[in-house]
């Protein structure tokens, strides 16, 4: 049975507004370009700990996936997503992420030694180890302290283990806690990925349309302005709005999405989940406080 194409009124090669992170659709706003440069710096300067934060749906995961394309084959990558574990259990997840076997029944010390031997052996073979923790704001202070202890594997000869923490703005607030000061002091690079401006939102929509064979004019100017006004420049919300708007326009046999059609989508309110308002905490100030730096030193 052929796959049903909801965008039958538009000659797209693929779905332009999929919610799945895809580096092929990456749109380089000034913020995304700066964030990626910071990630590259953290990777290639062998920074022990790099932190990337941003609101839900701002494109953090897409940037990390794009970064992984530049990682050398000698680098062993482990990924933890939505880790919400107790102390000691985190190490089990880390061992599993790298495929490191530890005999059943081993205590924490033996499991730590198994991981340390893996890191040291990889370094001895000319490689290095990078652990990426997504949704890191879900970790508690005990788990972050456990991660800090893992960085003790690093020696004066070089950085054997790198950590990349990706999370929502709450992660920066967490790192400001007094009991995590030692962890914060080991953070070498921090970047907060903000929302798109109105101009960037309009360019983003047109970019995704042309990427799949569209003209880029499938949305009227008025509709695009409403997309930004409603989404606040958050890519994931932009995608939800635009995807449903194309479906509605197709159902009406229209060749362009108008403001009227987009307003119809909003009136129906089909589980758009526009998210929470931005937190009161200024993420730039929070990042500066993590490093004990002036605001001007943190993008």
Q: Report mean pLDDT in 10-residue bins for the chain, 299 residues.
A: 52 87 82 91 91 89 88 91 66 91 77 92 92 91 90 82 93 91 91 92 95 94 96 92 93 93 87 47 42 40
pLDDT the model gives residue 288: 43
pLDDT the model gives residue 287: 44
| Nearest-angstrom CA–CA distance, 138 and 32 | 24
pLDDT the model gives residue 290: 45
Which residues have a Cβ under 8 Å from the Cβ of 208 and sit 6 or more positions away? 16, 17, 25, 27, 239, 242
Best CA proximity match to 48, nearest among 119, 141, 100, 138: 119
pLDDT the model gives residue 105: 66
Q: What is the pTM of this model?
A: 0.77
pLDDT the model gives residue 270: 56
| Nearest-angstrom CA–CA distance, 128 and 114 | 16
């Amino acid at each position: 049975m052929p796959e049903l194409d909801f965008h039958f009124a538009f000659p797209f090669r693929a779905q332009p507004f999929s919610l799945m992170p895809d580096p092929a659709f990456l749109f380089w706003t000034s913020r995304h370009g700066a964030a990626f440069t910071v990630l590259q710096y953290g990777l290639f300067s062998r920074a022990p700990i790099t932190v990337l934060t941003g609101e839900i749906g701002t494109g953090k995961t897409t940037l990390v996936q794009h970064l992984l394309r530049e990682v050398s084959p000698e680098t062993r990558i482990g990924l933890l997503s939505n880790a919400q574990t107790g102390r000691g259990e985190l190490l089990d997840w880390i061992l599993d992420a790298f495929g490191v076997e530890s005999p059943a029944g081993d205590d924490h010390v033996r499991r730590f030694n198994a991981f340390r031997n893996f890191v040291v052996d990889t370094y001895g073979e000319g490689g290095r180890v990078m652990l990426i923790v997504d949704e890191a704001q879900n970790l508690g202070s005990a788990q972050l302290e456990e991660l800090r202890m893992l960085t003790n594997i690093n020696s004066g000869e070089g950085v054997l283990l790198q950590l990349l923490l990706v999370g929502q703005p709450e992660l920066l607030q967490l790192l400001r806690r007094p009991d995590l000061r030692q962890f914060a002091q080991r953070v070498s690079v921090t970047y907060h990925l903000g929302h798109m401006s109105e101009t960037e939102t309009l360019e983003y929509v047109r970019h995704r349309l042309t990427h799949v064979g569209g003209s880029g004019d499938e949305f009227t100017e008025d509709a695009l302005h409403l997309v930004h006004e409603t989404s606040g420049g958050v890519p994931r919300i932009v995608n939800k709005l635009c995807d449903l708007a194309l479906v509605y326009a197709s159902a009406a046999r229209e060749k362009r999405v108008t403001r009227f059609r987009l307003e119809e989508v909003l009136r129906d309110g089909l589980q758009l989940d526009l998210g929470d308002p931005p937190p009161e905490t200024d993420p730039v100030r929070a990042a500066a406080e993590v490093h004990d730096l002036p605001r001007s030193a943190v993008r």
